[in-house]
Chain A
Amino acid sequence: MLHEVEVLRRFAPPRLGRFVVPALLLLLILFPFVVNAAFYVHLMILVFLFAYLGQAWNILGGYTGQVSLGHAVFLGLGAYTSTLLFEWYGVSPWIGMIAGGLVAMAFGLIIGLPTFRLQGHYFAIATIAVGESVLALFNSWDLVGGASGIYRTIVPESWWAMQFHSSKDPYYFIALGLVVTIFTVTRLIERSRLGYYFRAIKEDPDAAKSLGIDTTRYKLYSMMISAFFTGLAGTLYVQYLLFIDPEMVFLLMLSIQICLVPVLGGVGTLWGPAVGAAILIPISEFTRGYLGGSAAGLDLVVYGALIMLVAAYKPAGIMGLLRKAS
């Protein structure tokens, strides 16, 4: 009897996995056709965006254990790159998206080289400093709009220009596409030699080094992958908001939000960022909408309380809770 249960446990998850993911995907694809309310499509876009950003952060912060509090910089660089390419040279945001990812990746490499000498908290503090410096730089850089930002030229809607005015569904599907991409990539990394190296670095950098892993090199790889994908999302973010200024994309608060998503869901797990985003974003939106009018600030209290609870009782996040239960 017990043996049978053991056997079932061992074999059930992969089979279920083969079924769960396509089913979930199908549901998500059908969602905008079933639910015809713009606000909920908007909400889902935000959930996707933060699940995506959380996962991109997770590659560096979760799997490799290098906690970054400056990830908004990569998002912002990606957003600015595609915006400027479009506004100055008429380059399609799709190309701008890749270019933005590459710029973010290059920047990740540049800041990774010196900061990876630092360990633990010092690395996190260094990333905050980088974020604040970039904010100050963009605020006073007239060429890129300075503090007043760039109002995007509004053109007739098209996939080429990645602007849609009559419906949010295209943004929804672009966001979904990004989410599918990053989860696939993370899955592949998780199963590859790269993933094992990342986790080895996280568990014990010295032990990893003694086993012959070039830790600095692999931390840089992790940073570049994470920065590249964070940069990609910048394009979607700015195409969706059609406006950009430094306060919007380089603020420390945004970096913290990106990091909170996987922290709540479960750091270093594949599904953690998805679970975190699916809980945090609706909480933030609904409490602000429905409680904000009568009890201003309550949404922030709820938000803060949730994070404290997780930090105090479930440092492994909600995924830790699930794993224990099953």
Chain B
Amino acid sequence: MLRRILVLSLLFLLGISLAACGGTDQAGGDEGAGTPETIKVGAIYPVTGALAATGTDLTNGVKLAVEIVNGEFPDLNLPLAAEAGLPNLGGAKVEIVWGDHQGSAEKGMSEAERLITQEKVVALLGCYNSAVTATASQVAERNGVPFLNPESTSPTLTQRGFKWFFRTTPHDDTFAKNFFQFLEDLKATKGIEVESLAIVYENTLWGSDVGKFEKKYAEEFGYKVVEDLAYPAKGTDVTSEVQRLKAANPQVVMQASYVSDAILYMRTYKEFGFLPEAILAMDAGFVAAEYLKTLGEDGYYILSREVWALDLAESKPIIAEVNDMFRERFGYNMDGNSARAFTGTLVLLDAINRAGSTDPEAIRQALLETDIPADQLIMPWEGVKFDPETQQNTKGKGIIVQVQDGKYLTVWPWELASADLIWPMPGWDER
């Protein structure tokens, strides 16, 4: 039996070593071939597993971006759309090498390792889940390969002091800040002055984080927090919470809730006749499908932050053009995830093109010099420009939507709005 074990282990080691040598030989052959005909970029997403549906949205976004770069689309005002391939690299075509992390941080690391050392990709995209982005980007950091993250929102990711990590999407901290920019805008352009706030959030990590950021910015922007209310998300009765809110009488409620508690709060608000001028929600429960289905008109007029909305197309025609292409190929509309993956891919490929080479340092420099104006983006952002320290996109921005006639319509920033803001919320019996 032991002889068999020996034979088996020898075969195993031999297999691994052969595979390893095969891998390195292949890589050796690629080097020094002048301008390559295809540029390999790695993309790591949850293609299978519990997040497979989201993974498909994300990879479809990347696929469309690559098709636009590789083909000729002179009518599209997007980076690299007009010419075929990457013009500064002799028209080289882009090839995406896919990695599947199945939602696991350890597999994300494996895939990054494989794409960098075996497939020799020049840069990486991914990974959606903040935890997977954290480990996969460490591999890129160790190997000195640029890593562009289009869609993870944990603020910590860009506070690690990494040299090779860039992020285009705004993070949770920015979204909280957007609420206060919105309130400032209200004062400046509509003459609506808000002085007192109540901050309401469920007490697990996500809600408490949001609450923490909101309190920080309330102080920074000079708003008075009259009630700071953390509640357990799984409670079945919020009467005492609502009574406290009613007594504090804030003009605006900022709320972070999951769906069942969002519904419970709205019902209790109505029951007690508590009506602030506005409810500013941090998406989640307030944009879930069940919310409007259950509440109907009682759920109208709340405001929620979003990363993207299809009605942005009314103020940015480019969104409609890109979404039409997307629907033609994949049979459904884009969402916040596919739009962000699409944008991240374009930003990375634009940088590789400006670098004019596949040298990692040149690509990194080009990324640092990125300055894409708002009109070349399908996002509601002011542009793409990375902070030289954190390498976080400084021009990213969320939008605010309002429920009107059973639909979520963009109401802020004003220039992107498809509907007028209704302020204050109409009374419970005037609907």
Could you list which residues of chain A lie within 8 angstroms of chain B, going by C-beta atoms?
12-13, 16-17, 20, 23-24, 27-28, 31, 34-40, 42-44, 46, 139-140, 142, 146-149, 151, 154, 165-166, 241-243, 245, 247-248, 271, 274-275, 278, 282, 285, 288-289, 292-293, 296-297, 299-300, 322-323, 325-326
Given known A165-B142, A326-B1, contact A40–B111 (CB-CB < 8 A): no
**Do the beta carbons of A241 and B109 come within 8 Å of each other?**
yes
**Do the beta carbons of A16 and B6 come within 8 Å of each other?**
yes
Given known A38-B113, A245-B105, contact A147–B206 (CB-CB < 8 A): yes
Q: In the assembly, what is the distance between CA of A42 and CA of B23, in Å?
A: 14
Interface residue from B9, B19, B104, B138 paired with A242 (Cβ < 8 Å): B138
**Do the beta carbons of A37 and B204 come within 8 Å of each other?**
no
Interface presence of B352 (CB below 8 A)? no
Q: In the assembly, what is the distance between CA of A179 and CA of B141, in Å?
A: 29
**Do the beta carbons of A139 and B205 come within 8 Å of each other?**
yes
Q: In the assembly, what is the distance between CA of A292 and CA of B263, in Å?
A: 41
Q: In the assembly, what is the distance between CA of A162 and CA of B62, in Å?
A: 37
**Do the beta carbons of B105 and A296 come within 8 Å of each other?**
no
**Do the beta carbons of B118 and A292 come within 8 Å of each other?**
no
**Do the beta carbons of A243 and B135 come within 8 Å of each other?**
yes
Given known A139-B205, A326-B1, contact A241–B142 (CB-CB < 8 A): no
New contact pairs (20) apart from A16-B2, A39-B113, A242-B135, CB-CB < 8 Å: A23-B6, A31-B17, A35-B20, A37-B20, A39-B114, A40-B19, A165-B142, A243-B105, A243-B138, A248-B104, A278-B9, A282-B16, A285-B110, A288-B100, A288-B102, A289-B99, A292-B47, A296-B52, A322-B5, A326-B1
Q: In the assembly, what is the distance between CA of A165 and CA of B160, in Å?
A: 15
Given known A37-B117, A39-B118, A146-B204, contact A296–B16 (CB-CB < 8 A): no
With a CB–CB cut-off of 8 A, which chain B residues contact A20? 2-3, 5-6
Chain B nearest CB, measured from A296 CB (Å): 5
Chain A nearest CB, measured from B152 CB (Å): 11
With a CB–CB cut-off of 8 A, which chain B residues contact A27? 9-10, 13
With a CB–CB cut-off of 8 A, which chain B residues contact A299? 48
Jot down 17 A-B pairs with beta carbons below 8 A, ordered by A: A12-B3, A13-B1, A20-B5, A24-B6, A27-B10, A35-B21, A39-B114, A42-B109, A43-B16, A241-B105, A241-B138, A247-B103, A248-B104, A282-B15, A285-B110, A288-B110, A289-B118
Chain B interface, >50% SS class = helix
**Do the beta carbons of B114 and A140 come within 8 Å of each other?**
no
With a CB–CB cut-off of 8 A, which chain B residues contact A16? 2-3, 6
Given known A39-B114, A154-B160, contact A248–B13 (CB-CB < 8 A): no
**Do the beta carbons of A293 and B97 come within 8 Å of each other?**
yes
Interface residue from A12, A37, A243, A288 paired with B118 (Cβ < 8 Å): A37
- Measured CB to CB, the nearest residue on chain A to B154 is A148
**Do the beta carbons of A39 and B23 come within 8 Å of each other?**
yes
- Measured CB to CB, the nearest residue on chain A to B15 is A282
With a CB–CB cut-off of 8 A, which chain A residues contact B47? 292, 296-297
With a CB–CB cut-off of 8 A, which chain A residues contact B138? 241-243
With a CB–CB cut-off of 8 A, which chain A residues contact B20? 35-37, 39-40
Q: How many residues of B contact A (CB 8 A)?
A: 54
Q: Which residues in chain B, 105-159, are within 8 Å of chain A measured between CB atoms?
A: 105-107, 109-111, 113-114, 117-118, 130-131, 134-135, 138, 142-143, 154, 156
**Do the beta carbons of A35 and B135 come within 8 Å of each other?**
no
- Measured CB to CB, the nearest residue on chain B to A166 is B142
Chain B nearest CB, measured from A23 CB (Å): 7
Interface presence of B8 (CB below 8 A)? yes
With a CB–CB cut-off of 8 A, which chain B residues contact A28? 13
With a CB–CB cut-off of 8 A, which chain A residues contact B105? 241, 243, 245, 247-248
Interface residue from B8, B107, B143, B205 paired with A146 (Cβ < 8 Å): B205
With a CB–CB cut-off of 8 A, which chain B residues contact A42? 109-110, 113
Those 8 A-B pairs whose CB atoms lie nearest each other, nearest first = A146-B205, A40-B20, A326-B1, A297-B48, A147-B205, A293-B98, A35-B20, A243-B134
Q: In the assembly, what is the distance between CA of A27 and CA of B160, in Å?
A: 38
Given known A39-B23, A248-B105, contact A289–B2 (CB-CB < 8 A): no
Given known A148-B130, A242-B138, A288-B100, contact A13–B2 (CB-CB < 8 A): yes
With a CB–CB cut-off of 8 A, which chain A residues contact B204? 139-140, 146-147
Q: In the assembly, what is the distance between CA of A147 and CA of B24, in Å?
A: 39
Q: In the assembly, what is the distance between CA of A149 and CA of B16, in Å?
A: 34
Q: In the assembly, what is the distance between CA of A34 and CA of B8, in Å?
A: 19
Q: In the assembly, what is the distance between CA of A149 and CA of B200, in Å?
A: 24
**Do the beta carbons of A247 and B4 come within 8 Å of each other?**
no
Give B310-328 as 1s and 0s: 1 = Cβ < 8 Å from A's Cβ atoms: 0000000000000000000
Q: In the assembly, what is the distance between CA of A151 and CA of B161, in Å?
A: 12
Q: Which of B20, B48, B209 counts the most chain A CB atoms within 10 A?
A: B20
Chain B nearest CB, measured from A183 CB (Å): 12
Interface residue from A17, A35, A293 paired with B2 (Cβ < 8 Å): A17
Given known A20-B5, A139-B204, A323-B1, contact A243–B131 (CB-CB < 8 A): yes
**Do the beta carbons of B48 and A300 come within 8 Å of each other?**
yes
Chain A nearest CB, measured from B110 CB (Å): 6
Given known A139-B204, A142-B208, A289-B114, contact A271–B5 (CB-CB < 8 A): yes
Q: In the assembly, what is the distance between CA of A140 and CA of B233, in Å?
A: 12
